[in-house]
Amino acid sequence: MTKEQIYDMLREVLHPGKGDRNIVELGMVNAVTVTGNKVTVEIDFGEHRDPLAEYITGSVRAAIYRHTAAGVEIEVKAASKPKEEPKKKSVKDLTMDELNNVRHIIGIASGKGGVGKSTVAVNLAVALSRLGCKVGLADADVYGPSVPIMTGTEGEVPEAEEDLIFPIEKYGVKWMSIGYFASPGQALIWRGPMACNALKQMILQVRWGVLDFLLIDMPPGTGDIHISLVNDIPMEGAVMVTTPQDVALADVEKGVDMFRNEKIKRKIFGLVENMAWFTPAELPENKYYIFGKDGGKKMAEHFGIDLLGQIPIVQGIRESGDAGEPAALGSGPDALAFLDLARKLIDSAQ
């Protein structure tokens, strides 16, 4: 028995989930060792749970068994253990299966509008992607969908196949927004349950594929729509965005309470303090604490949550948002702040 012969046998093992291509061709065979009477095959099922792993393991055994003499010992090992079981389904919906390939579903929330929640969500998505993660972002702000403009994808129309919508891909991120289907004025008509259903569709009926992070730009506030969203989408937790003023404290409290609520009970990954200080472009070393210093830090301590990041007010952040080229794509202090935030989130999601 040579290694080559074993590889030939393994070419007979097809992966039904991948267009019936064989596992050698798919690069799933990590190693083959033949020692005396024993064959060991190491198969890479990927970081995410391959639902057909058991089936493939059995087929590998059978293929080798068929071609070798009696008494050969066969061992099939998985190269990387699936990290976690897929999340429990909370909505009995076939389309929900799409979300089983997503490791972390995280809401980006704020107690009120205008604190830069969408800016943080979009730039965090880009930064996570720059760090090598597979990322999607669903814009769940029906009342003010801003992802199309912030990513320069307005006017694009997502394709659909059967019941699934394909996200728009740009800057290494998969984007979905109600803004792709309705003009801003139109979206305003969608209130109450109708808005809620449309929203869920923007998240559940999307072909996200395999993702490390799916960020959800939540609508501002803490109303029924939020509770319903968090209940129906298997959200692992939330990142809270705030500005450092004292008035923001009360809003953050509402947001924190919402996720800690008995019925919701989701993890709060931490707080992002946006507009933490002002830095003029011509004096990048200078920090002006217009809204006071360390507001975010104190707030995080007060609620017993982590301060994940502090983002300065930089004119470029607004300009790049308006121009559809997120600041996180660049190399300035603003981009570094978002990359730092992304790194902290990756650590905290481990």
Residue numbers at the binding site for Mg ion (CB under 5 A): 118, 141, 146
Q: Is 275 in the site for ligand ADP (CB under 6 A)?
A: yes
Q: From 34-42, 82-90, 170-178, 316-324, give the range in contact with ligand ADP by CB under 6 A.
A: 316-324
The least distance separating ligand ADP from the CB of residue 334, rounded to whole angstroms, comes to: 7
**Rounded CA separation 319/339 (Å):** 19
**Rounded CA separation 234/267 (Å):** 12
- Residue 274 interface partner, choices ligand ADP, Mg ion, none, CB cut-off 5-8 Å depending on type: ligand ADP
Q: Is 117 in the site for ligand ADP (CB under 6 A)?
A: yes
| Bridge-based pairing state of the strands 29-35 and 38-43 | antiparallel
Phi/psi at 74 (5° precision): -120, 130
Can you tell me which of 128, 238, 317, 342 binds ligand ADP, judged by CB under 6 A?
A: 317
The least distance separating ligand ADP from the CB of residue 274, rounded to whole angstroms, comes to: 5
- Residue 313 interface partner, choices ligand ADP, Mg ion, none, CB cut-off 5-8 Å depending on type: ligand ADP
- Residue 314 interface partner, choices Mg ion, ligand ADP, none, CB cut-off 5-8 Å depending on type: ligand ADP
Can you tell me which of 318, 323, 336, 347 binds ligand ADP, judged by CB under 6 A?
A: 318
Contacting ligand ADP within 41-80 (CB under 6 A): none
Residue nearest to ligand ADP (CB): 116
Can you tell me which of 50, 98, 105, 116 binds ligand ADP, judged by CB under 6 A?
A: 116
Q: Is 280 in the site for ligand ADP (CB under 6 A)?
A: no
Can you tell me which of 63, 64, 111, 119 binds ligand ADP, judged by CB under 6 A?
A: 119
Q: Is 237 in the site for ligand ADP (CB under 6 A)?
A: no
Helix (H), strand (E) at residue 122:
helix 117-130
Can you tell me which of 110, 129, 205, 242 binds ligand ADP, judged by CB under 6 A?
A: 110
Task: Return the number of the residue (146 or 205) whose C-beta is nearest Mg ion.
Answer: 146
Task: Return the number of the residue (270 or 321) whose C-beta is nearest ligand ADP.
Answer: 321
Contact 121, 109 (CB under 8 A): no
Q: Is 38 in the site for ligand ADP (CB under 6 A)?
A: no
Can you tell me which of 43, 313, 335, 342 binds ligand ADP, judged by CB under 6 A?
A: 313
Judged by the rule CB under 6 A, the positions of this chain that interact with ligand ADP are 110, 113-119, 146, 220, 274-275, 311, 313-314, 317-318, 321
